[in-house]
Amino acid sequence: MKVLVTGSAGLPGRDVLRLLENRGIPCRGVDAPEFDPADSDSVSAVVEEYVPDVIVHCAAYTNVDKAESEPATCAGVNGFGALTMARAAARIGAKMLLLSTVQVFSGAGDAPNAVSDPYGPRNVYGMSMVQAEDAVRSLLTRYYIVRTGGIFGNSKDPVRAVFRAAQDGRELTVSCDRVIQPTYSKDLARVICALIETDCYGIWHARNEGACTPAEFAEMVIKKSGRSCRIVPVRDAEIPSHARRPMNCRLTAELPAGFAPMPSVEDALSRYLDEIIR
């Protein structure tokens, strides 16, 4: 099995690539600026040169707020990018995994969003990922769509934001009424790498167990890391933002039979903190 991983410099593409390499699975990672998912020639050149058996497509435009002022760019990278990648996969007979997001849903109500729930994106980013999912489903039969949300595991994640605020002596204003499910990139990568070795095609939900508000997650980071930072919980509507976000970002745990439940958010955070603090 040969695997092409797009977005290999970001999350979770970086961790997917590392895990494949550690397991001795032939793989190649591509990312900007050498690789542009919105450029069909760039996509075709990479795919047809490497000829992978599996494409793990993590490359995406993920700046939710900036997407509101750059809708064409966001749609080009996410929607058209997935379309061109799916077309390339179809040409060479490869199967494809698309990393998607809880933001394809409206986030109404209190129940976790299920695989079968209707789309209802509240922002440009969410709509672009609906387009991406539709493109993959319309062109391929051997596909995996993995929805997740709140990925942490690098220098730009919410954990490091707490660290930076503590270091600078700043207070941190965080939403206390939006519900999220923070997901550790390494745990998500393990699910992705296991999934692509199966014939369990379709849409799946992968996230760490447990839900909290961003303010509660920030407090968890402080408690577990021993940092000192004042968290100011406010309603999500009071936080300056260009994009509307789902208030309920819970996802049902829907993975193939035989897949173990993903670890809890607390367990995942403890392992991540052990990695970056030691």
pLDDT at 167: 86
Residue 158's SS3 state is helix
Is residue 47 a contact partner of residue 97, using CB atoms and an 8 Å limit? no
pLDDT at 174: 94
Tokens coding 245: 């976000």
Q: Which residues are marked as active site?
A: 125
Q: What are φ and ψ of residue 111, in 5° steps?
A: -75, 145
Q: Which of 197, 254, 207 is nearest to 19 (CA)?
A: 197
Tokens coding 98: 């698309």
Amino acid at 83: L
Averaged over successive runs of 10 residues, the pLDDT of the chain (278 residues) comes to 97 97 98 93 95 98 96 98 98 98 96 97 98 98 97 90 88 94 98 98 98 96 91 93 94 97 97 88
pLDDT at 37: 94
- What is the sign, positive or negative, of the torsion defined by CA atoms of 19, 55, 74, 101? negative
For the domain made up of 3-154+182-208, give the CATH fold: Rossmann fold (3.40.50)
pLDDT at 189: 98
- Facing residues of 264 across strands? 209
Counts for the chain of helices (H) and strands (E), in that order:
10, 10
Q: Which of 32, 35, 31 is nearest to 43 (CA)?
A: 35
* Dist CA 6 CA 60 (whole Å): 9
* Dist CA 3 CA 5 (whole Å): 6
Write the DSSP assignment of 68-122 as a string of letters: TT-HHHHHIIIIIHHHHHHHHHHHHT-EEEEEEEGGGS---SSSPBPTTSPP---
H or E element at residue 90: helix 81-92
- Facing residues of 175 across strands? 234
Q: Which of 60, 68, 62 is nearest to 243 (CA)?
A: 68
